């Protein structure tokens, strides 16, 4: 007897077996749909809702900083100048090409700090200089996705673009001069006082922006370097430098 005839001659599966199989497939389908929905919600939370929460928190902190700057000091308790390293932040980063508004800058690059929707300056493994230091590298990190994603558009920066840092009394204007689109996350030389991979060989007043790459991963780091070109004193109206108008 041929194989086709044997299959035709075989007795049909019991109705109960077919019912169990159909029930199992239905349950499996429901589970897959549920898992898909959970994953979609998790992605939405990670890439959208954490941005909302971080932006709210960073905005509130930023408002506090600006209020402190406007509060006159007293002999008993002078108002803290913007240049001091306070627990709330040291100033605001403005990068027009990244279209990210103003970014509060705080001390440290640990997740607890950066998850608040801010940029942080390095304290380790290489200690960052601060903009008002005579020489050094003001090195910063921020998230590229989620938790504010303040450096999401870092790839839009080109040589000559402005990076402006604002304190209570001074605008620090930097210009981008080099980038490194992908490097190991263990490459600490990129935040050295003299970042030689940028092409610089002598001490200066540099700024370095670092974040994760490719987008939605943390496998490598994306680096942008700038150099201070001038400073401007903040006037009574707090008029921004030309690069921000």
Q: Which domain holds residue 229?
A: 53-244
Give me the phi and psi of 224, to 5 degrees please. Answer: -130, 135
The number of folded domains in the chain is 1
Residue 15 lies in a domain: no
The catalytic position among 94, 143, 147, 152 is: 143
Query: From the centroid of its chain, how far is CA 191?
Result: 16
Residue 70 lies in a domain: yes
pLDDT of residue 15 exceeding 70, the answer is no
* pLDDT tens profile 38-84: 555 445 545 667 788 888 888 999 999 998 888 765 444 444 444 45
Instruction: State whether residue 244 is helix, strand or coil.
Output: helix
Do 65 and 57 contact (CB within 8 A), yes or no? no
Residue 68 lies in a domain: yes
Residue 236 lies in a domain: yes
CATH of the domain at 240: 2.40.260.10
* pLDDT tens profile 149-165: 999 999 999 999 999 99
Residue 19 lies in a domain: no
Tokens for 199, please give them.
């092409």
Do 125 and 190 contact (CB within 8 A), yes or no? no
Mean pLDDT value across the chain: 85
pLDDT of residue 102 exceeding 50, the answer is yes
- Residue 212: active-site member: yes
- Residue 94: active-site member: no
pTM: 0.79
Residue 58 lies in a domain: yes
What pLDDT, on the 0 to 100 scale, is given for residue 80? 45
Going by their DSSP bridges, the two strands 102-107 and 119-121 should be labelled as: parallel
Residue 7 lies in a domain: no
Which sign, positive or negative, has the C-alpha torsion 82, 85, 89, 94? positive
Radius of gyration of the chain (CA): 27
Going by their DSSP bridges, the two strands 119-121 and 162-166 should be labelled as: unpaired
The catalytic position among 94, 147, 152, 212 is: 212
Share of the chain above pLDDT 70, in %: 76
């Amino acid at each position: 007897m041929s194989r086709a005839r044997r299959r035709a001659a075989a007795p049909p599966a019991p109705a109960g077996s077919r019912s169990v199989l159909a029930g199992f497939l239905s349950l499996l389908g429901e589970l897959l749909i549920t898992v898909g929905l959970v994953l979609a919600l998790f992605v939405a939370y990670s890439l959208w809702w954490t941005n909302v929460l971080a932006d709210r928190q960073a905005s509130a902190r930023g408002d506090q900083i600006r209020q402190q700057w406007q509060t006159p000091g007293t002999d008993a308790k002078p108002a803290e100048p913007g240049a001091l390293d306070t627990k709330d932040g040291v100033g605001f980063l403005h990068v027009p090409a990244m279209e990210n508004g103003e970014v509060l800058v705080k001390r440290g690059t640990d997740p607890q700090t950066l998850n608040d929707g801010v940029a942080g300056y390095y304290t380790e493994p290489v200690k960052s200089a601060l903009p008002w230091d005579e020489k050094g590298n003001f090195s910063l990190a921020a998230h590229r996705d989620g938790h504010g994603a303040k450096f999401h558009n870092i790839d839009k920066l080109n040589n000559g673009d402005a990076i402006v840092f604002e304190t209570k009394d001074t605008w620090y204007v930097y210009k981008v001069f080099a980038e490194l689109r992908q490097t190991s996350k263990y490459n600490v030389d990129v935040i050295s006082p003299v970042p030689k991979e940028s092409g610089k060989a002598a001490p200066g007043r540099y700024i370095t922006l670092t974040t994760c790459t490719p987008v939605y991963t943390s496998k490598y780091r994306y680096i942008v370097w700038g150099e201070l070109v001038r400073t401007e004193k903040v006037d009574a109206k707090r008029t921004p430098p030309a690069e921000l108008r």
